Structure 1
């Protein structure tokens, strides 16, 4: 699978029952700068964080606006849209930019910057 396809599949399955686990390299690490500070996550930490997001909102949907691949690296920009239980209206929750390194057709290293809307 081409690196761009690996990343597209990861984001496509993020909030689906299949989840992201099949797309993550066993040694996956994510370095994430966001509005709350810096986090370093392993594959298990990333899976746990996404499970928390799924439980917190009625719906979660990612809108990928850019995806650019060069070799084994893929850059992606996206909006995370959610429906919160108290509003029942879809809103943009956060904007993110990520650079992913692909190894063995899996997400190996992720460098993410995001901010809340």
Structure 2
């Protein structure tokens, strides 16, 4: 039995920077289309562009992990809210929030196919915004 849709989205974001072989191939559809609204403006990304961002970020941080706050699935769409925390090369002993994200994905062939993502630069967060 394969992963559920929510698990696919969560595992993509939590394993993206763990240097696991084939992470993008395992989770992204070859024809993936991601629209990303960020602090630097709108980006339209395909598979290779997502790979380039992933590789660039992996070089610039000692570690990067996703802290998932909430994942919801409705009508074949999965929404996820999470924060990336990083340890910089200059200061590997301190973990700090890099950015907060909200994303909605549609899957095709059990892979992320079409997504819209919004991000904001990191700051301290409410420990339990859903309580």
| TM-score w.r.t. length of structure 1 | 0.93
2:68: which partner in 1?
64
Aligned pair count reads 117
After superposition, what is the alpha-carbon deviation per residue over 1:43-97, rounded to whole angstroms, capped at 9, x for unaligned? 1110110111111000000001000011321000000000112222110010010
Q: Which one is further off, 11-20 or 96-105?
A: 11-20
Please report how far the alpha carbon of residue 112 of structure 1 lies from its aligned counterpart in structure 2 after TM superposition. Answer: 0.3
Q: Which of residues 5, 8, 14 in structure 2 aligns to 1:3?
A: 5
Please report how far the alpha carbon of residue 23 of structure 1 lies from its aligned counterpart in structure 2 after TM superposition. Answer: 0.8
**Is 2:55 aligned against 1:51?**
yes
State the structure with more CA Rg: 2
Please report how far the alpha carbon of residue 33 of structure 1 lies from its aligned counterpart in structure 2 after TM superposition. Answer: 0.5
Name the Cα RMSD after superposition: 1.1
Structure ranking higher in strand proportion: 1
User: Once superposed, which parts of structure 1, at least 4 consecutive aligned residues long, lie more than 3 Å away?
Assistant: none
SS at match of 1:58: strand
Which structure is higher in RCO with an 8 Å CA cutoff and minimum separation 6?
Answer: 1
